[in-house]
Structure 1
Amino acid sequence: MGQLLLNNVQKFYGDYEVLKGVQLEVKNGEFVVFVGPSGCGKSTLLRMIAGLDATTAGDIVINGVRVNDLPPVKRGIAMVFQSYALYPHMTVFENIAFPLRVEKMEEAKLKAKVENAARILHLDQRLQQKPGMLSGGQRQRVAIGRAIVREPKIFLFDEPLSNLDAALRADMRIELAKLHRQLKATMIYVTHDQVEAMTMADRIVVLDAGNISQTGAPLELYHKPANQFVAGFIGNPKMNFLPVTCKGVSASGVEVDYLGQTALLPVTPRDSMAGKTLTLGIRPEHIQLNGGDIVFTVTPTVIERLGANTVAYASLNGEAENFCAMLPGSVGIRPDTPVATGINAADCHLFDEEGIAFERRVELTEIDMNVINPTAA
């Protein structure tokens, strides 16, 4: 059982406030991922939960017990770091067994725990080898095995896959997802890689400059970002933003103008909006060739052909130099050759002058809704 409550947690380094009153509850068995740009405080928050950094203010509560003043070993947590932190002179068995030897566990019980962890992580044929004989992915599994044998209430992962190549990262994402389902353990995972966040998390926590900008299931953040920061951070390639003018509102939504073209966006309107400059957001994957509620011409400057998709970075009306469109892989576009594209109002997001999102009236599929709110399925 591993429940975590962060109650108005703050962290100062001198006069610099790194975390600004973080409030978060993690339920037993959840896989929660912290994401955000460099310097947003995600790793600091993880280290504070682990007890490696002191809390300036607020409470960290694990299973109903305030742990602010407890050392790491007393908190019932296990942490896996970015660096494997393995002892090169020890075998895989001894590396995994190390925390149990510190606890002076009897040998028979220790051996059973290590062998069970090795079996879960497919390391049972490697127990007598040393780290230098293992691949990067196998070394990371050893580090995870060292955490598993402690049977912690909460697993903490600090960018554990960032030292691996792309293929190994993909493999380890799958292994970690399987491990979570098998152990049914509470896991908190820090990453800068949103692919890891979107594919592994039950819930994502987006941090921005020491504040939680939004929490939610991956598809919830994708379809309904709370603000422009989250909209631009979740999704790859990132969302495009265009300045538009509000022409009026109705029960059906908000009518906006973009370079003389009007479109009715299906969002919940607010009072006194006419004439205001707003921001329209459109994801690259929702750009289409020819036609749409709003049409425009882009001039590709860089084209990335990925097989199934073609990603084009372009200038748009001489304004957005890095406007991005994700198009079918078969399209025959070329650099410096204008292309007619368009967008549909139903795919658009809308943000006010302060970057707060208007609520979208999107029709999500039954699959989307079950993923966003599994308890409703």
Structure 2
Amino acid sequence: MGQLQLNKVQKFYGDYEVLKGVELDVRDGEFVVFVGPSGCGKSTLLRMIAGLDATSKGDIIINGVRVNDLPPVKRGIAMVFQSYALYPHMTVFENIAFPLRVERMEEEKLKAKVENAARILHLETRLQQKPGMLSGGQRQRVAIGRAIVREPKIFLFDEPLSNLDAALRADMRIELAKLHRQLKATMIYVTHDQVEAMTMADRIVVLDAGNISQTGAPLELYHKPANQFVAGFIGNPKMNFLPVTCMSASEAGATVDYRGQTATLPVKPRDGMVGKMMTLGIRPEHIQLGSGEISLTVTPSVIERLGANTVAYAALGSETENFCAMLPGSVGIRADAPVAVGINAADCHLFDAEGIAFERRVELTDIDMNLLAPATA
């Protein structure tokens, strides 16, 4: 059992407030990912849960017990670091066994635990080798094995894949997802990579400057971002933002103007929105060749041909420096040649002057609605 509660957790370094009253409940068996840009406080929060950094204010509760004053070894957690933190002079077996030897576990039981962890991680044939003989992915699995043998209540991962190349990162994402399903353990994972967050998490916690900006299932954050920050952070390539003016509002939605073109976005209206400047958001994958309810002619400055897709970047005057469209891979567009693209209102998001999203009234299928809920709910 691995339940975690964060109650108004704050962290100060001198007068600088790194974390600003974070509140979060993590359910038993849930895979939660902390994601956000560098400096947002995600690694600091993980270290506070682990007991490596002290809490300035607030409470950290694991399985109903306040652990603020407990040392890391008493918290029932195991942490996997970015740097692996393996002992180069020890074999894989001894690296995995190290925390058990510290506990003075009897040899027969220790051996059984190490061999079980090695079997789970496909390291059976590597137990007598030393870390220098292993690939980056194998070294990371050894670090995870050292956590598994402790049978912790909660696993903590601090950007564990950032030292791996792209192919190994993709492989390890799959391995970690399989491991979570096999162990049914509570896992909290920190990354700045929103692709890792989207592919592995039951629930994502988006941090921004020490605050939780939004929590939810990956597709909930994709389809229903609470604000412009989350909308721009979740999704790859990131969402485009265009300045618009609200011309009218009704039960049908909000009619906005962009460079003399109007479109009615299916959002829930608010009082006082007419005449206000707002921001329209459109994801690159929702832009189409040809016309739309809002039509644009753009001249791509950079084109990335990725096989299945072609990504084009263009400037829209002084409004958007890198307006991005993700188009089919077979399109015959060229850099510095104008191309017509279109935007449909049903695909758009709308944000007020403070960046708060308007509630969208787009109908999703039953399958989509199921995917919006966390997997362990």
TM over 0.5: yes
2:232 pairs with 1:254? no
2:270 pairs with 1:270? yes
Contact 2:34–2:207, Cα closer than 8 Å, also in 1: yes
Contact 2:202–2:375, Cα closer than 8 Å, also in 1: no
Distance in 1 between residues matched to 2:153 and 2:367, nearest whole Å: 31
* CA shift in 2, pair 1:367/1:132, >3 Å: same
Contact 1:297–1:316, Cα closer than 8 Å, also in 2: no
**In the alignment, what sits opposite 2:18?**
18
Distance in 1 between residues matched to 2:272 and 2:137, nearest whole Å: 56
1:187-336 equivalences under 5 Å are 187-317=187-317, 319-336=319-336
Contact 1:31–1:200, Cα closer than 8 Å, also in 2: yes
1:139-154 equivalences under 5 Å are 139-154=139-154
Letter in 2 for 1:122: H
2:308 pairs with 1:338? no
Measure how far apart 1:324 and its partner are: 0.5
* CA shift in 2, pair 1:72/1:351, >3 Å: same
Runs of 4+ that moved beyond 3 A: 374-377
The alignment's TM-score, normalised by the length of structure 2, stands at 0.99
Measure how far apart 1:360 and its partner are: 0.6
**In the alignment, what sits opposite 2:34?**
34
Measure how far apart 1:365 and its partner are: 2.3
**In the alignment, what sits opposite 1:118?**
118
Distance in 2 between residues matched to 1:74 and 1:111, nearest whole Å: 23
Contact 1:298–1:317, Cα closer than 8 Å, also in 2: no
What SS does structure 2 have at the residue aligned with 1:37? Answer: coil
What SS does structure 2 have at the residue aligned with 1:315? Answer: strand
What SS does structure 1 have at the residue aligned with 2:125? Answer: coil
Distance in 1 between residues matched to 2:252 and 2:214, nearest whole Å: 27
* CA shift in 2, pair 1:374/1:161, >3 Å: closer
Contact 2:203–2:217, Cα closer than 8 Å, also in 1: yes
**In the alignment, what sits opposite 1:174?**
174
Distance in 1 between residues matched to 2:364 and 2:376, nearest whole Å: 14
Contact 1:297–1:317, Cα closer than 8 Å, also in 2: no
* CA shift in 2, pair 1:90/1:375, >3 Å: closer
Distance in 2 between residues matched to 1:184 and 1:376, nearest whole Å: 10
Distance in 1 between residues matched to 2:16 and 2:330, nearest whole Å: 51
What SS does structure 1 have at the residue aligned with 2:124? Answer: coil
Q: Deviations over 1:41-78 (max 9, x none)?
A: 00000000000000000000000000000000000000
Contact 2:217–2:374, Cα closer than 8 Å, also in 1: no
2:67 pairs with 1:67? yes
Letter in 2 for 1:76: G
Q: Deviations over 1:70-107 (max 9, x none)?
A: 00000000000000110011000000000000000000
Distance in 1 between residues matched to 2:51 and 2:374, nearest whole Å: 32
Distance in 2 between residues matched to 1:27 and 1:223, nearest whole Å: 23
Distance in 2 between residues matched to 1:268 and 1:364, nearest whole Å: 16
Letter in 2 for 1:63: N
Measure how far apart 1:275 and its partner are: 0.9
Q: Deviations over 1:286-323 (max 9, x none)?
A: 11001111001111000000000000010124532210
**In the alignment, what sits opposite 1:363?**
363
Distance in 2 between residues matched to 1:73 and 1:375, nearest whole Å: 30
**In the alignment, what sits opposite 1:137?**
137
**In the alignment, what sits opposite 1:86?**
86
* CA shift in 2, pair 1:166/1:97, >3 Å: same
Measure how far apart 1:372 and its partner are: 1.4
Distance in 2 between residues matched to 1:186 and 1:362, nearest whole Å: 34
Measure how far apart 1:37 and its partner are: 0.5
**In the alignment, what sits opposite 2:77?**
77
Q: Deviations over 1:145-204 (max 9, x none)?
A: 000000000000000000000000000000000000000000000001111100000000
Letter in 1 for 2:361: R
Q: Deviations over 1:301-354 (max 9, x none)?
A: 000000000000101245322100000000011111110001000000000010
Contact 2:52–2:72, Cα closer than 8 Å, also in 1: yes
Letter in 2 for 1:88: P
Letter in 1 for 2:5: L
Contact 2:242–2:319, Cα closer than 8 Å, also in 1: no
Contact 1:297–1:340, Cα closer than 8 Å, also in 2: yes
* CA shift in 2, pair 1:146/1:172, >3 Å: same
Distance in 2 between residues matched to 1:20 and 1:315, nearest whole Å: 37
- 5+ residue gaps, structure 2, are none
Measure how far apart 1:374 and its partner are: 5.3
Contact 2:33–2:203, Cα closer than 8 Å, also in 1: yes
Distance in 2 between residues matched to 1:191 and 1:148, nearest whole Å: 20
Contact 1:11–1:18, Cα closer than 8 Å, also in 2: yes
In the alignment of these two chains, the number of paired residues is: 377
